[in-house]
Amino acid sequence: MRVLVTGYLGYVGPAVVAAFQNAGHHVIGFDNGYFEDCVDPLEPQPVPDGDIRRDVRDVGPGDVTDVDAIVHLAGLSNDPLGELAPALTPDINHAATLRLAALAKAAGCPRFVFASSCSLYGAAADCASPLEETAPLRPVSAYAQSKAACERDLGALADDRFSPVFLRFATAFGASPRMRFDLVLNNLVAWARTTGEIRVLSDGTPWRPLVHIKDMAQAMLRAATAPRDIVHARPFNIGRDDNNLTVADLARLVQNQVPGTHIAITGENGSDPRSYRVDFRRAHRELPDFRPEWTVEMGCEEVDRWIRARELTADDFQSHRFIRLKHLQFLQEQGRVGADLRLCAAPALAGAPR
């Protein structure tokens, strides 16, 4: 199978490229390269079989010819990025997704795997019972709203030749060649290991379901290859039921991983309206061979090992290399990203051969 993986130069993308290649598929990567320089020197990322370097807003028909499946990860990938240029978030995350899907459908590509998010459940009024895919959507951010709008409008493109499938991922964790420390598990482990203090900026009560990036990649592989009637225009929550934790519970697990550390629940970010427990049984039941393997404890151990192997400091993990919002702001300050959030062509070096 020939698979186009958009957003392959991000945090999750390398695990997706590896999962498809290991299963024998031909992978074409597509990305504009915002985080190109954020790669880890100790762990180079897998190289796709083809590479398209373009903004997803500029995708053209030639990018989707002879493709059997598209896995669409590219976009502004969290709430803070969605607020950086609020007028552009719908263009990048929604309009460009719809354009990509329409082009894919016109070119005869039968399967479109969309990286959605459990954050579209938003402010779940009652966390007593976990949310199934039929629960009402209450997105509380521009980012989450863009995911909900994509699911709605991709669903309208579904027909007997084109099957979109919506994978609603829990919050990711784990070691990647393009590491992020703006994700709750990775962030708390980094605080613990580099300062001895586990800093929880909320009041610790919000529920956060978590999922390892390799389990996300496995879900995308299964969704791309499953029989059509299982996935056609359907959402699947992706995670493990036992990885539904409150942030305070997670802090205690991190403390077990890094003994001698102190938990500080600062509450400085106020109460967080995003809180949801999620029921992950549909994907386990119905996505053929999907078996998510990574517990939170395994993730804490892996991320801690990653940090120790690189002797990361507190300044390091809070730098733009690992925080998506800071990196886009850094690129803007350097003039490498314009007000339209497009990457500018690199300036020609004086005297360099043309």
Ligand X SMILES: NC(=O)c1ccc[n+]([C@@H]2O[C@H](COP(=O)([O-])OP(=O)(O)OC[C@H]3O[C@@H](n4cnc5c(N)ncnc54)[C@H](O)[C@@H]3O)[C@@H](O)[C@H]2O)c1
For 185, the token pair is 């598990």
Phi/psi at 168 (5° precision): -90, 95
For helices 184-195 and 296-309, angle between their N-to-C axes, nearest 10 degrees: 50
Which residue in the set 5, 28, 52, 56 belongs to the binding site for ligand X (CB under 6 A)?
56
Q: CB under 6 A: which stretch of 31-39, 148-156, 247-255, 292-300 binds ligand X?
A: 31-39
What residue number has its CB nearest to ligand X? 10
Under the binding rule (CB under 6 A), the answer on residue 275 touching ligand X is no
User: Considering Cα of 201, then 204, then 210, then 212, what sign does the dihedral take?
Assistant: positive
Write out the H or E segment, with its range, that includes residue 173: strand 171-173
Please answer whether residues 96 and 136 qualify as being in contact, where contact means their C-beta atoms are separated by less than 8 angstroms.
Answer: no
Among 4, 92, 101, 224, binds ligand X (CB under 6 A): 92
Q: Which of 105, 322, 324, 337 touches ligand X (CB under 6 A)?
A: 324
The least distance separating ligand X from the CB of residue 7, rounded to whole angstroms, comes to 3
Q: Which is nearer to ligand X, 78 or 261 (CB)?
A: 78
> What is the greatest pairwise CA distance in the chain?
66
- What does the alpha-carbon distance between residue 99 and residue 88 come to, in Å, rounded to a whole number? 15
Q: Which of 145, 171, 187, 275 binds ligand X (CB under 6 A)?
A: 171
DSSP string, 309-329: HTT--HHHHTSTTT-HHHHHH
Q: Which is nearer to ligand X, 75 or 206 (CB)?
A: 75
Cβ atoms < 10 Å from Cβ of 307? 23
Of 4, 5, 7, 206, which one interacts with ligand X (CB under 6 A)?
A: 7
Contact characters 183-202, ligand X, x per CB under 6 A: x-------------------
CB of 351 vs ligand X, minimal distance in Å? 30
Instruction: Give which of 228, 225, 92 is closest to 158, Cα–Cα.
Output: 228
Per rule CB under 6 A, is residue 13 in the interface with ligand X?
yes
3-state secondary structure of 54: coil
Give yes or no for residue 120 binding ligand X (CB under 6 A): no
Pattern of binders to ligand X over 276-315, x per CB under 6 A?
Answer: ----------------------------------------
Q: Which stretch binds ligand X (CB under 6 A): 49-57, 101-109, 265-273, 280-288?
A: 49-57
User: What b/e readout covers 270-290, taking b as 16+ CB neighbours within 10 angstroms?
Assistant: eebebbbbbbbebbbeebeeb
Contact call for residue 115 and ligand X (CB under 6 A): yes
Number of residues that bind ligand X (CB under 6 A): 27
* Site of interaction with ligand X (CB under 6 A): 7, 9-13, 31-35, 55-57, 73-75, 77, 92, 115, 117, 169, 171-172, 180, 183, 324
